[in-house]
Structure 1
Amino acid sequence: MSVARSSVSAAVPRERGEAPLLRGPSLSALRIPSHWPSQHSLFAAAIQQASRARLLGVKLLPDDPESLRRFDTSNFGLLAAYTYPQATRERLEVCNDWHAWLFFFDDIADEVSEVGQRPAHLEQLMVACVEVLRGAPLRAGATALEHYTLDIRERLRRFASDAWLARFADDVDLYLFRGTLPAAQHWASGTVPDFDAYYSQRALDSAVFTALDLIEITEEGRELPEGVLIQDDLLRMRELSTRVVALSNDLFSYEKEVLWHHNPNNLVHMLQVHLSMSLEDAVAEAIQVINTDVERFLACEGRLTQSGWLDDARVAYYVEGMKSWMRGNVTWSLVSGRYCSRTSPFPEMRHP
């Protein structure tokens, strides 16, 4: 489906708004199987504090009460603990630091208008960070985010092969230049992407492909064999699980991104603008899209089982990791201070 772009101002108030409490569709309508992994690692609190100290050390996290409160209530450590439940302590720490990197960069691109609405300026920062991940030294006058990137790269090198590091850097490159940059261009121009463009953009802009890569380094000996990386069903499962996480996030972040920061890159908002849907109908449609992707994921898993690929413990571990991400993202989002608020349109998230 292709729909012409529309102006963001058509549906979004220009001052921080509040959506009415939804009476119709509920987040409980998301059909992400309850038997999928939902227990978090016992290292959740420890890695949260470790990442906090590291972020303060590179001065990426400001040392003021409001910034620290926001970081603490977001509880990124709990997300890593849910999404990589089997990871060892040191490996889970670097996964959580990457998540923190993504959320800090996301806030720069989505909320700081002097950066997010200047795509050329944002692109310079992207280039610098990708070059560091690929092994380049820090440039003169490197930002705090670049210093944090270097720290993450050096720690990843202890756990991963050169081939994995190259794949990871490639996925970060796609996330930044084919996901985040187009999203920033929409924000700068005040346009809402059409359906075809958005689904492709959002999968990359979510950075979930990079997060799925990390499944392979959470325990020793879990990197995927080269042959499976081109297996059609596994590649499709990567795409589907990424979409499930990304589009679920569009529900959880609707108030934060659309109503508070007037960012047009959101599935619910796109449905409201292009199809003239009410908020209730747009949420119901978004949930149906997500549920359909879950069903497609399960169908691919069935074919992967029949083909014998799941007999390889590394492949089976990776598939369980994708399930942990889809399930854990929902569980964490429903309690994280990053998305929950007293004014959320979703009853399940209307708490401080």
Structure 2
Amino acid sequence: MSVEKLQPFPSQFVLQDLTAITAPVFEFKLNPNEEKAWDRTSAWFDNHNVYHGKKKAGFLSHRFDSYAGMSFPDADVDHLDNCIAFFLWAFSFDDLSDEGALQSSPEGVKRGVDISLGVLHNPDAPPPKFPYAAMLHDIWRRFRATASPGACNRFKRAVESWMWSQVEQSANRATDEIPSVEDFIILRRRTIGGPIVEAMIEYSLDLQIPEFVWDHPVLEGLSKAAIDIMTWPNDLCSFNKEQSDGDFQNLVFCIMLERDCDLQTAVEILTDMLAQRVADYADLKKQLPSFGPEVDLELARYFKALEQYVQGTVVWYYYSPRYFRGQDVSNKKDLLVPVYERTVEPAVAQPPAPSKSLFNFPLLSSIKHLYVVPAVACLLCLAPLVFSSDVTQQIRQITAVFSA
């Protein structure tokens, strides 16, 4: 399905209060350790030099510290510190491919993924120069220090799946292709990082849940439902920002194309899908079997934490300026949202080229690998003349990928 077939957007749309849809089943709670944990994590993030100046201030204004406080309300300060670090890493890496220097370069995203996955497979090696991989290196070290072996295995597999989903979505984003609703829901469970979140929840409370439990079909169904319930509100809250940035990899747009409907109708369809998914989760939870007193107790703690995470996530979508650009959303009932002006046009499908460089410059695609780093270095010398300081900084970081 092609972006070009989307119906024209209206000047505004109405969004129901999504937190009210999820609240009857998913509890909301705040962590009292948030401020203390953030003092540690903010210094840690500064040391990795991912962002500078206005770009850094804009990124941190999204309040990932509050997100962690809402999503891991029962974690102690040490675990919450690492949970905030996890958010900073995940969102900054996601932004690198969504709207940063790698937005139109699946090859660049893949190279960054390769380096980052090396951290998971060789955790005792020195941290890489690539700052996103260096952040993951430290998060993984702290995770392994207290998490169960099963949680470690799940985290490792989940991060690998999430990072490859970034490559897949980057490839979709580089064209005008939009997947079907069914295909996108499956992909979105990976791109949202749902299985990573589940492993982080285990880690946050140092839960001890036997491996065989996770393969039970009811738990698998609950997992998919919970991930959908935290994901679909994200698509409803973020599609406006994304279309403004020329990004149409969103379930709202999949519905518009597949149902051949307008924007408001697609928003209402997805909102109804969300309400049904909440009901699905509640029904599935009633079917949860007993695995013995000790396991049942750990599972009860897990599902309580999972539900708190989901509701904290949905609340944060409104609380953070990341999606509503400063609009007053205190009254979330039937919120009237202006459709943002398009600042970047969607990509137009191009015939495949024999090869592409990281920056899509035809010159670099014909230069042998030996000369790539010097060539990029020359570009960096000219960067202050043609790039903003934030983009220049991102390109400097990516140069480290080539030389790693």
**After TM superposition, is the score higher than 0.5?**
yes
Contact 1:29 1:287 in 2 (8 A): no
Residue in structure 1 matched with residue 160 of structure 2 by the alignment: 173
Contact 1:206 1:246 in 2 (8 A): yes
Secondary structure of the 1:74 match is coil
Separation in structure 1 between the aligned mates of residue 273 and residue 198 of structure 2, nearest angstrom = 21
What is the one-letter code of the residue matched to 1:96? I
Per-residue deviation at 1:136?
Answer: 4.3
Per-residue deviation at 1:191?
Answer: 0.9
- How is 1:120-131 mapped onto 2 (pairs within 5 angstroms)? 120-131=107-118
Residues 30/323 of structure 1: CA separation in 2 closer, same or farther (3 Å cut):
same
Of 40-49 and 72-81, the range deviating more from structure 2: 40-49
- How is 1:1-352 mapped onto 2 (pairs within 5 angstroms)? 5-6=1-2, 8-11=3-6, 20-23=11-14, 25-28=15-18, 31-34=21-24, 36-62=26-52, 64=53, 66-112=54-100, 114-136=101-123, 142-177=129-164, 179-220=165-206, 222-258=207-243, 260-304=244-288, 307-309=289-291, 311=293, 312-342=296-326, 348=335
**Could you say which structure has the larger radius of gyration?**
2
What is the one-letter code of the residue matched to 2:79? R
Per-residue deviation at 1:137?
Answer: 5.6
Residues 29/140 of structure 1: CA separation in 2 closer, same or farther (3 Å cut):
closer
* 1:37-56 deviation per Cα after TM superposition (whole angstroms, max 9, x unaligned): 21210122333333222111
Residues 344/205 of structure 1: CA separation in 2 closer, same or farther (3 Å cut):
farther
Per-residue deviation at 1:349?
Answer: 8.4
Separation in structure 2 between the aligned mates of residue 247 and residue 67 of structure 1, nearest angstrom = 27
Secondary structure of the 1:339 match is helix
Residues 93/19 of structure 1: CA separation in 2 closer, same or farther (3 Å cut):
farther
What is the one-letter code of the residue matched to 2:120? L
Separation in structure 2 between the aligned mates of residue 140 and residue 217 of structure 1, nearest angstrom = 22
What is the one-letter code of the residue matched to 1:294? V
- After TM superposition, the score normalised by the length of structure 1 is 0.87
* 1:166-205 deviation per Cα after TM superposition (whole angstroms, max 9, x unaligned): 221101111121x222211111112111122111101101
Residues 121/84 of structure 1: CA separation in 2 closer, same or farther (3 Å cut):
same
Residues 206/140 of structure 1: CA separation in 2 closer, same or farther (3 Å cut):
closer
Per-residue deviation at 1:338?
Answer: 1.3
Contact 2:127 2:137 in 1 (8 A): no
Of 155-164 and 289-298, the range deviating more from structure 2: 155-164
Secondary structure of the 2:13 match is coil
Residues 10/52 of structure 1: CA separation in 2 closer, same or farther (3 Å cut):
farther
* 1:318-337 deviation per Cα after TM superposition (whole angstroms, max 9, x unaligned): 11122112211111111101
Residue in structure 1 matched with residue 356 of structure 2 by the alignment: none
Separation in structure 2 between the aligned mates of residue 273 and residue 80 of structure 1, nearest angstrom = 35
What is the one-letter code of the residue matched to 2:32? L
Number of equivalences: 333
What is the one-letter code of the residue matched to 1:320? K
Identity of aligned residues (%): 19
Unaligned runs of 5+ in 2: 339-404
* 1:50-73 deviation per Cα after TM superposition (whole angstroms, max 9, x unaligned): 3222111011132x1x22331332
- After TM superposition, the score normalised by the length of structure 2 is 0.76
Separation in structure 2 between the aligned mates of residue 81 and residue 314 of structure 1, nearest angstrom = 21
Unaligned runs of 5+ in 1: none
Separation in structure 2 between the aligned mates of residue 140 and residue 319 of structure 1, nearest angstrom = 34
Separation in structure 1 between the aligned mates of residue 68 and residue 253 of structure 2, nearest angstrom = 28
Separation in structure 2 between the aligned mates of residue 26 and residue 162 of structure 1, nearest angstrom = 42
What is the one-letter code of the residue matched to 1:145? Y
